[in-house]
Chain A
Amino acid sequence: MELLKKLTQAFGPSGNEQTVRDIITEEIKGFCDETKVDTLGNLVVRKYGGGKKLMLSAHMDEIGIIATVIDDKNFVHFSEIGGVKINALHSSKVKFIDGTIGIIYEKSEKPTKFSDLYIDIPNICKGEGLYNISVGDTAVMASEFNLSGDFVSSKALDDRVGCYILLETLKSITKPNYDLYFVFTVQEELGLRGAKTAAAGISPDYAIAVDVTVCDDIPGGGKYPLVLGKGPAIKVKDGSVICHPEIKRLLADTAKAERIDIQYEILDKGGTDAGAIHTTGVGVATGALSIPTRYIHTACETASISDIKNAVKLLSKVCGDTL
C-alpha cells in the first residue's frame, strides 16, 4: 500500500495535478508503449493490443481551496475547488504546495459559505520570506494516511484510489484483449472536464471510469445499499450517466467467472468521468467501477483494501491475460 500512500499524500487540487502526474509517469515506466500529456494536462498511457479501444480512466485531481484575497493583516480569504463541504473544512488544517500549513476558522458564527471562513497562516510574509502565499495559490486538506486492518483512511482517496487501481491493473497485464488506454484525468471535481477532452482525443469504443462512490452504511445512513468490504461496485447510474448494458454485463460476467463479490451502485446525484466520456463524439459504450467509500470529500475518506484489490483483479481480467 506504499504506492497508495504516496498517491494520496501527493498534492493535486483540480488544475494543479502536476505532482500526481509525475508520480504516475514514474510508476508506468516499462509497462506501457506510449504516453502523452494533452492540452489540459491529462496523462494518456497506451498499451498496444489488437482490436477495439478500451479506455480506463481515473482522475488525478482532488478537492481543495484557492486563495482569492490576502488582506492587509495577512489573513487569507479563499474559494473552494470542487465540492468541498463547509463543515469538513471548518477548524481544520490545509496544506499548500510548498508544505505551508494554514488553519481555517470562521469569520461569523455558523458559517454557510466559504466567504464566512478564512485561513490563518501565522508566519505568512506577504511577497517575500519563508512562507510566500499569493492570490491563486491552492491548498488541500492536510491529513495522515492510516491503515488499519482491511481499512484505509486518507484525504484524496477520491480518486487516487482509482489511479492506484489503474496502475496495478496496467502492471499485471501480460496480453491485452483490447487496445488499452489508461487515462489519468484532470479537473474531474470541477465538472468532468479532463475526461471530456481526453475521450475526444482517443475516440474509444468502450470506456470504464474508476472512482469512489458514496458508502452509506453508517449511522443515519442506509439510503444506498452499498457496504464497505463487500466488493467493488458496478455503477448502474448516477447524475451524469446511465451505464451501458454491455459494459455492466462485461464487468458482472467477469466477476462471476473470477468469483469476485460485487455490488451495484445507484446514485441520484453526482457524477464521474463516465458522464463526460459517454457523450463524446458519436457516443462511447461506457460503464464505471466504484470503490465504496465513507466520508467522501473530507480529510478522512475511508475504503476497504479488499474492495480495492478485488477491483484490480476484476479490471485486469477484463483487460486481458494477467500474471
Chain B
Amino acid sequence: MKKEKNWNLIIGCVLTGMTIIFVLVGFFYTPYDPETMDVTAKLAGVSAAHPMGCDNFGRDILSRVMKGSGTTLVVAAGTVAIGTMAGILIGAFTGYYGGVLDEVLMRIIDALFAFPSILLALVFISLLGPGKYNVIVALGIAFIPSFSRIVRSQFLYQRNMDYVSSAKLQGASDIRIMFVHILPNTLSVLRSSVMIGFNNAVLAEAGMSYLGIGVQPPDASLGRMLSEAQSYLFAAPGFALFPGFVIIVMVLGFSLLAEGMKDA
C-alpha cells in the first residue's frame, strides 16, 4: 500500500516557515517605520505602496503586522518557556517523590487547573499591570498547572520502570534519575503539549492585547491592532482582516505541524 503523503506536516512546515521568515525579516526591516503616521494615507486601501493598506493614523499596516507578529511570537515563546520549565520542576518532584508535597501541590494545581488559563492570566495581569513582560509572566504562570500535570503523570508512570530501578541500584542520585534518566523519556509527550501550549499562548496574547490589558503601545501587537480596527470595520476592512489572518496562519501552521509530527 502506498503511504499517503503527510499533508499536515508539509503544509504545517510551509506555513510555519513563512511565519518565521516574516517575523525574522520584521525584526530587522519593515517597509515603513511602524510608528510613523502619515495623515494623507489615513485608512488607505491596499496599494503597491502599502500592500495591506494603512490604519486610522496612516501607519503602514504591513510594517505593523510584521512587528506585531514578532511581539506575539516572543510572548508565546516566553510563556511556553516559563510554563514548561516550572511545569517540569513541579511535575518531576511531585511525580517522583509523591507523598505530602505531592498531595498539597496537586490540590492547588487541580484547583487552578479547573480555572480557564486565560482567566488565571487576567488575575495576574491585574496584579502586575499590563505590558509585554508582564503578559509573559502572567501567561507563563497560568500555563504551569497544565504542564505540571502532564509531567507529573509521566513521572508517576516512569518511576516504577525497570530502567529506573537499575539506575537506582547503580547508585544514581534522585536528581540524576529524574533529569538524566526519566526526563528524556517524557520528551515525546512534552513536545506535543509544548506545541499546543504555544498555540494557546499565541491566542491568549492576542486576546489579552485585544482587551487592552496585554501588550501596550508603543509595542505593536496583533490583538491591539484588531481592537483599534474594529471601529473602522466598514471603512477599512483590511485593517482588521490582515492582522487577523496572520494570527490564523501562525496558529494553523503550528497546529498542522504538531499533527504532522504525530503521524510521522
Do they bind each other? no
Residues of B within 8 A of A (CB): none
